[in-house]
Amino acid sequence: MKLLRYGAPGQEKPGLLDGEGRIRDLSAHVGDLAGRWLTPDGLAEIAAIDVAALPVVEGPVRYGPCVAGTGKFICIGLNYSDHAAETGAAVPPEPVIFMKATSAIVGPDDDIEIPRGSTKTDWEVELGVVIGKTAKYVSEAEALDHVAGYCVINDVSERAFQIERAGQWTKGKSCDTFGPTGPWLVTRDEVADPQNLAMWLEVNGHRYQNGSTKTMVYGIAHVVSYLSQFMSLHPGDIISTGTPPGVGLGQKPPVFLKPGDRIRLGIEGLGEQSQHVR
């Protein structure tokens, strides 16, 4: 299933994308795509609904973030060997973990705001993993059983805040609008191999990122298991699993976002995003 949320910010309704690419309204059956509706039982209930009987949502709509009620937005740094190489960083001996504020989460096509004092706002197409079943001390072999599905994330980053100022990366990753998420949550059963998905990102029509999840250093099962050793993961938590090469920081000379820029990005089978920078 391709599950989604649509409507004005703060007023989103749950829906799904049918086989013809139309949005169907789920609000008569589902409160929101959060909590128990992301669990195996909740997803099974949604899957049992007669899609043809659901109302079709007419006209252009805004896509909201594809999940609600996210408690933790966890990111993995330097998780693509080719991206680590472009930044001059060594491949880490264990996954690098940092947090992104949940207040950064916006819809996939919402505007990106360059924050005050920013000189180096950058882009990162990433595969998002949405947790569907509580995970605590899970093995790598059982880790994917705790995943509800996958989505596209743009891990927008302010490099000066992230790297050049004292402290950890979080403040360069958490500005408002720095977490476009969606357009859909694609359930795990529809993604045959999450470790072999093409991913790309363009700015003003120029293709900067053109990679694949197959170059991840630490795969999704490893990351979910690893994180669960340090914290419990709950339905609706999001893991952003790292970016392939082609970020602005890695260009020679570096290229950063400016007002008026247009970003497009996507991951094979998971949909596309489009953002205007202001």
Instruction: Give me the domains of the chain, ranges plus CATH numbers.
Output: 2-53 (no CATH), 73-276 (3.90.850.10)
Phi, psi of 226 (to 5 degrees): -60, -50
Provide the mean pLDDT of the chain: 96
Arithmetic mean of pLDDT, 241-252: 95
Q: Which percentage of the chain shows pLDDT scores above 90?
A: 92
The whole-number pLDDT of residue 97 equals 96
pLDDT at 84 over 90: no
Arithmetic mean of pLDDT, 22-37: 97
Confidence at 145, pLDDT banded by 50, 70, 90: very high
Q: Give the distance, in angstroms, between the CA of residue 125 and the centroid of all CA atoms in the same chain.
A: 8
pLDDT at 274 over 90: yes
How many CB atoms within 10 Å of residue 189? 10
pLDDT at 86 over 80: no
Using one digit for the tens of pLDDT, what is the confidence trace for 5-14? 999 999 999 9
H/E stretch holding 199 reads: strand 198-203
Confidence at 59, pLDDT banded by 50, 70, 90: confident
Arithmetic mean of pLDDT, 22-51: 98
The whole-number pLDDT of residue 125 equals 98
From residue 168, alpha-carbon distances to 88, 120, 128, 165, 186 in Å are 18, 17, 22, 9, 32
The whole-number pLDDT of residue 81 equals 81
Using one digit for the tens of pLDDT, what is the confidence trace for 180-208? 999 999 999 999 999 999 999 999 999 99
The whole-number pLDDT of residue 72 equals 98
SS3 of 45, please?
Answer: helix
The whole-number pLDDT of residue 168 equals 85
Q: Give the strand pairing for 179-180 and 105-106.
A: parallel
- What is the token pair recorded at 75? 């990111």
Token pair 């997803």 is at which residue? 43
Using one digit for the tens of pLDDT, what is the confidence trace for 87-128? 777 888 999 999 999 999 999 999 999 999 999 999 999 999
Arithmetic mean of pLDDT, 123-136: 98
pLDDT at 216 over 80: yes
Farthest CA pair distance, the chain: 55
Kindly report the pTM of this predicted structure.
0.96
- What is the token pair recorded at 138? 């899970």
